[in-house]
């Protein structure tokens, strides 16, 4: 999956999140989410990403427990330096062997 590219099929939110326990205004990572996104003390920034934005997978994170497992793609936004230097995360919703590599087909289109 590393090196694969995909584009957005709809406008998304790039939500900058802090992992600081005191909620310092430091963006530790960005999550891409559809709809209205989410809010809370951990949210530092919120910017819209337009339909058609292209991303490349640079790393795959996997967390497993005896109950479930979760895969998150760390991506770069191709064609802009807008989010440079901060990890952008996209959560896998299906299986890696799906035709869209586990990405929601309503939101993302693999190239």
The tens digit of pLDDT for each residue in 79-95 reads 888 888 899 999 998 88
pLDDT in tens, 6-45: 999 999 999 999 999 999 999 999 999 998 888 899 999 9
Residue ranges per structural domain of the chain: 5-110
Q: Quick one: pLDDT at residue 66?
A: 80
Q: Quick one: pLDDT at residue 36?
A: 83
Q: Quick one: pLDDT at residue 81?
A: 86
Beta carbons within 8 Å of 59's beta carbon, 6+ residues apart: 2, 73, 74, 87
Say if CB 7 and CB 79 are below 8 A apart. no
Distance, in Å, from the CA atom of 2 to the CA atom of 48, rounded to the nearest integer, reads 25
């Amino acid at each position: 999956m590393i090196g694969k590219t995909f584009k957005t099929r709809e406008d998304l939110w790039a939500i900058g999140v802090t992992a600081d326990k005191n909620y310092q205004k430091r963006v530790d990572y960005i999550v891409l989410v559809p709809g209205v996104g989410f809010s809370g003390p951990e949210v530092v920034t919120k910017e819209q990403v337009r339909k058609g934005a292209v991303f490349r997978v640079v790393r795959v994170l996997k967390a497993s427990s005896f109950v479930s497992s979760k895969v998150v793609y760390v991506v770069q936004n191709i064609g802009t330096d807008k989010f440079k230097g901060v990890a952008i995360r996209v959560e896998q919703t299906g299986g890696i062997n799906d035709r869209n590599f586990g990405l929601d087909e309503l939101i993302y289109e693999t190239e």
